[in-house]
Amino acid sequence: MLIISPSVLAADFSKLGEELKKVKDAGAEYIHLDVMDGIFVPNISFGIPVIASLRKKATAFFDVHLMITDPIRYIDDFVKAGADLLTIHYESCSDPAAALRAIKAAGIKAAVAIKPATPAEDIFPLLAEVDMALVMTVEPGFGGQKLIPETIEKVRVLRSYAVANGLTLDIQVDGGITAENLPLLTEAGANVIVAGSAIFRADDPAAVIAEMNEQASKHPYQA
3-state helix, strand, coil in the chain (%, to 5): 45, 20, 35
How far is Cα 149 from Cα 160, in angstroms, rounded to an integer?
A: 18
Catalytic residue among 12, 25, 34, 122: 34
Residue 37 makes CB contacts below 8 A (sequence gap 6+) with 44, 67, 68, 69
204 a catalytic residue: no
Q: Do residues 3 and 193 make contact, with C-beta atoms less than 8 angstroms apart?
A: yes
Catalytic residue among 122, 170, 174, 204: 174
Measured over the CA atoms of residue 203, residue 207, residue 111 and residue 164, the dihedral's sign is: negative
174 a catalytic residue: yes
User: Which residues are known to be catalytic?
Assistant: 34, 174
